[in-house]
Amino acid sequence: MITLFDRASRPLIKRILKTYVRPYTGWVVQAMIWMVVGAAMSAVFASLIQPVLDDILINHKRHLVVPVAAGLFICFVLRGVSGYLNTVLMNKTGQHIVSDIQNDVFSHLMTLDVGYFHKNASGTLLSRITADTGVMRMAVAEGLTNLGKNSLTLVLLIGVMFWRDWGLALAVFVIFPITAVFISKLGKRLRKVSTRTQESIGLMSALLTQTFQGIRQVKAYGREDFEARRMEGKFDDVRDLNIKNVKIGTLNTPVNEILAGLCMCGLVLYGAQQSRLGHLSPGELMSFITAFLLSYEPMKKIAKVNNTLQIGLGAASRVFEVLDTQARIPTTGGEKPPITVYDVAFENVEFSYTGDDDRALNGLSFNVQPGQVTALVGPSGGGKSTVLNLLLRFYDPQSGNIKVGGHDIRSLDPSYLRAQMALVSQDITIFDDTALANIAYGRGGASEIEIMQAAKAAHAHEFITGLPDGYNTRLGENGVALSGGQRQRIALARAFLKNAPILLLDEATSALDAESEALVQESLNALQKGRTTLVIAHRLSTILHADNILLVERGRVAEQGNHANLLAKGGLYAALYARNQIAA
Ligand code: ADP
Report CA(390)–ligand 1 centroid distance (Å): 12
What would the DSSP string read from start to end of 429-483? PPPSSBHHHHHHTTSTT--HHHHHHHHHHTT-HHHHHTSTTGGG-BBSTTSBPPP
Report CA(380)–ligand 1 centroid distance (Å): 9
- The dihedral built from the CA positions of residue 494, 499, 502 and 507, taken in this order, carries a sign that is positive
Q: What is the pLDDT of residues 518-571, one digit of tens each?
A: 888 888 888 888 899 999 998 888 898 899 999 999 999 999 999 999 999 999
360 in contact with ligand 1, CB cutoff 6 A: yes
Q: What is the pLDDT of residues 206-232, one digit of tens each?
A: 889 888 888 888 888 888 999 999 999
Q: What is the pLDDT of residues 325-345, one digit of tens each?
A: 999 998 888 899 999 999 999
Give me the pLDDT at residue 332, please.
86
Closest CA to 290 of 87, 48, 8: 48
137 in contact with ligand 1, CB cutoff 6 A: no
**Residues β-bridged to residue 361:** 351
Query: Best of 114, 351, 353, 384 to mutate for ligand 1, by most ligand atoms within 8 A of CB?
Result: 353
* pLDDT at residue 2 tops 50: no
The answer to whether the CB of 570 falls within 8 A of the CB of 377 is: no
483 vs 501: which has the higher pLDDT: 501
Q: What is the mean pLDDT of residues 410-427?
A: 92
User: Nearest residue CA, atom 27 of ligand 1?
Assistant: 353
* pLDDT at residue 48 tops 80: yes
* pLDDT at residue 1 tops 50: no
Checking DSSP bridges between strand 373-377 and strand 548-553, what pairing results, if any? parallel
Q: What is the pLDDT of residues 67-113, one digit of tens each?
A: 999 999 999 999 999 999 998 998 899 899 999 999 999 999 999 99
96 by Cβ neighbours in 10 Å (0-12 / 13-18 / 19+) ranks as middle
DSSP 18: I
Q: What is the mean pLDDT of residues 156-165?
A: 90
555 in contact with ligand 1, CB cutoff 6 A: no
Give me the pLDDT at residue 4, please.
52
Q: What is the pLDDT of residues 437-452, one digit of tens each?
A: 999 998 888 999 999 9
391 in contact with ligand 1, CB cutoff 6 A: no
Q: What is the pLDDT of residues 174-207, one digit of tens each?
A: 766 676 677 767 777 887 888 888 888 888 888 8
Residues 167 and 42: their CA atoms lie apart, in Å, by 22
163 in contact with ligand 1, CB cutoff 6 A: no
Give me the pLDDT at residue 478, please.
66
Q: What is the pLDDT of residues 361-417, one digit of tens each?
A: 999 999 999 999 999 999 999 999 999 999 999 999 999 999 999 999 999 999 999
Task: Give the mean pLDDT of the chain.
Answer: 88
> What percentage of residues in the chain have a pLDDT greater than 70?
97
Query: Which of the four pLDDT bands, split at 50, 70 and 90, describes residue 272?
Result: confident
Give me the pLDDT at residue 534, please.
96
The answer to whether the CB of 351 falls within 8 A of the CB of 359 is: yes
387 in contact with ligand 1, CB cutoff 6 A: no
Report CA(351)–ligand 1 centroid distance (Å): 10
417 in contact with ligand 1, CB cutoff 6 A: no
Give me the pLDDT at residue 523, please.
87
